[in-house]
Amino acid sequence: MPPQRGPRPKGRRPQRRDPQPIPVAAPAVAVAEPTGAVVTIPKSIAVGELARAMDVSVVDVIRSLVNLGTMASINEIIDFETATLVANELGVEVRPEEEAPVLTEEEAPATETVGAKEILWTDVDPAKLKERPPVVTVLGHVDHGKTSLLDAIRSTNVTSREAGGITQHIGAYQIEHNGRKVTFLDTPGHEAFTAMRARGAQVTDVAVLVVAADDGVQPQTIEAISHAKAAGVPIVVALNKIDRPDSNTDQVKAQLAEHGVTIEEYGGDTPLVPVSAKTKQGIEDLVETVLLVADVAELKADPDRPAIGRVIEAHLDKGRGPVATVLVQTGTLERGDLVVAGTTFGKVRAMVDDKLKNVGRAEPSRPVEILGLPEVPEAGDVLRVVPDEKAARALVAQNARERAAGMAAERPATLDEMFAQVKEGRAKELKIVLKADVQGSLEAIKSALAKIPQDEVTLAVIHDAVGDITESDLTLAAASGAVVVGFNTKMEAPARRVADSTKVDVRQYKVIYELLEDVQKALTGMLEPEMVESTLGHAEVLQLFTAGKTTIAGCRVADGVIRRGAQARVLRGGQTVYDGKVGTLRRMKDDVREVTVGLECGIVLENFNDEQVGDVVECYVVQPKPR
């Protein structure tokens, strides 16, 4: 009996395993079976867009990509061949679009400049342009009363019918003053202001610079001035805290003049309004002044056309889904409109204003929260009403390609590129963000830079300050196409991350004349090639031999290659004890040009006979790198 029972399990085990591969393969055959659906897609498409086009879950598309060995996120762009493989696995037939997926001539965006703003426009009729409210951003030093001033402005516009006071929650709000409206953007500061501008989202018409009368111009005040000037936005100074007994308005006015902000009282063109956020003094005068500045700019838009605007901020709400705060720049946005925001599109299901009221339409310069987008857009994305889903898909694909190609934002300038542009006669201005360790050095450098001949290229120091290079400096440089120059300064970790992501050119110096020499050569396009060191290989000293007065180091090449005539340094305990050249290189009894990894050789170094067993010979070359 035991011999009979033994073979039976052996015979049954294969029978239990044989059917297992069948269910694994079966779904692939079943899924690959066409369902009859035919979808037209462009040559490159975002993963999320492909899922919507095939009317399947994004998870299924990503899972199919993983099965194909491709790791991709929802916004990543894939080519048509990869999309076809995914579609076949999901049982959908896809065909390429015969024409490039761009908008028709009637729908194609044109560029118009209206009220000093350049955004996407279509069907622009000057006769239809009407006055629109100005959009204001409040900037200034920390603790100078920006938030208090915004609260004071809002509180003066709350009616008795609005029970519960102000409910400002969407990062932007609109007030009314003597029958005219003003929109305020409640941003975290000038970093956010410039980060938006770096993506092309120039949404601000007027910058209100808040300066405390008892504290004067401070480092962040100077930064705010630089950011506003770089954006070309008119400034209105709000001199806050004038109710304080230690306020000194004359001192603040003089400090502002030192930093290029000359107020009207001193013969300049910058209005200054004394205010007190605490007592509400001067608040109405401030709003009145903002409206006067807006009148000079002649801000206009066409309210009787499909809306175009910008996403100010966006987030994912647990109860409501993707929520975007939108500032309409031209046209009128209505509930039910089909909109494209960056690489996503959907119908506007609901709109909420800054007082939590549902609204049916939003005119130019009005901020609203919108619901209905399937994904969270990015701050700075253009929001655009489109006529139908075909146009929406085309615009989304176009935006996705531009974003993938890095065309969404202007790439910052580098000194290397500036030299080439000077030689070609294309460069007109070299912008610099200048930081130094002390005020004396800063003034000396600025004075010396001003004396540099500027025949071919104009030098513009758009911001200068004392201290380390900060994240704010990098965002300003990225938005303005500037180069960051530091003298005896360090770069903060957040700033280093911004520099890596934006590719801003950061140059740091310890000798002033080297800084001035580089800038001058940049202006004339004559900078010499940069000398760059490249390591060839390392060899470990195993044994020493002597031939007369010459020491021969018997070595084994640990990595790379050792080359005769190349530069060499001897490392002992992590310290360099020699830096010279490889004079002679021998393999067995033959002189050779180079020895590769794993082989043994004899090395004679020029003018050095003090090698020790255990030393490491590092071989390297120094070559010019074209700028």
Type of residue at 95? R
Averaged pLDDT of the chain: 78
561 CA to centre of own chain? 41
Type of residue at 481? G
The answer on 162 and 274 residing in a single domain is yes
DSSP string, 422-457: HHHT---EEEEEEEESSHHHHHHHHHHHHTS--SSS
- Contact between 423 and 521 (Cβ < 8 Å): no
d(CA 50, CA 60): 11
Length of the chain: 627
- Contact between 427 and 454 (Cβ < 8 Å): no
The pLDDT score that the predictor gives to residue 98 is: 56
pTM: predicted TM-score of the whole model, two decimal places: 0.54
In a domain, 101, yes or no: no
Candidate from 14-18, 36-40, 43-47 with smallest mean pLDDT: 14-18
Express each pLDDT in 171-216 by its tens digit: 788 888 888 999 988 765 555 566 665 555 578 899 899 999 888 8
Q: Kindly report the CATH number assigned to the domain that includes residue 452.
A: 3.40.50.10050
| pLDDT band at 455; cut points 50, 70, 90 | low
Q: Kindly report the CATH number assigned to the domain that includes residue 211.
A: 3.40.50.300
Statement: residue 165 has pLDDT above 50: no
Candidate from 16-25, 91-100, 370-379, 595-604 with smallest mean pLDDT: 16-25
Indicate the residue among 241, 271, 300 that finishes a domain.
300
- For residues 559 and 8, the model is more confident at 559
The answer on 484 and 438 residing in a single domain is yes
Winning range, highest mean pLDDT, from 117-131, 141-155, 281-295: 281-295
The answer on 511 and 543 residing in a single domain is no
DSSP 188: S
Query: Three-class SS of residue 144?
Result: coil
Pair of tokens at residue 627? 């700028």
- 31's CB contacts (< 8 A; 6+ apart) are 89, 90, 91
Indicate the residue among 507, 527, 547 that finishes a domain.
527
Candidate from 115-119, 196-200, 492-496, 510-514 with smallest mean pLDDT: 115-119
DSSP 228: H
Express each pLDDT in 39-55 by its tens digit: 888 777 778 778 888 88
The pLDDT score that the predictor gives to residue 518 is: 82
Pair of tokens at residue 134? 């100005």
Instruction: State the total domains in the chain.
Output: 5
The pLDDT score that the predictor gives to residue 219 is: 81
The answer on 210 and 271 residing in a single domain is yes
Candidate from 164-168, 208-212, 335-339, 475-479 with smallest mean pLDDT: 164-168
DSSP string, 15-57: HHHTTTHHHHHHHHHHHHS--S-EEEE-SEEEHHHHHHHHT--
The answer on 139 and 48 residing in a single domain is no
The answer on 502 and 470 residing in a single domain is yes
Query: Three-class SS of residue 289?
Result: helix
The answer on 278 and 157 residing in a single domain is yes
d(CA 136, CA 117): 14
Range of the domain at 229: 131-300
The answer on 536 and 512 residing in a single domain is no
In a domain, 112, yes or no: no
The answer on 279 and 195 residing in a single domain is yes
In a domain, 123, yes or no: no
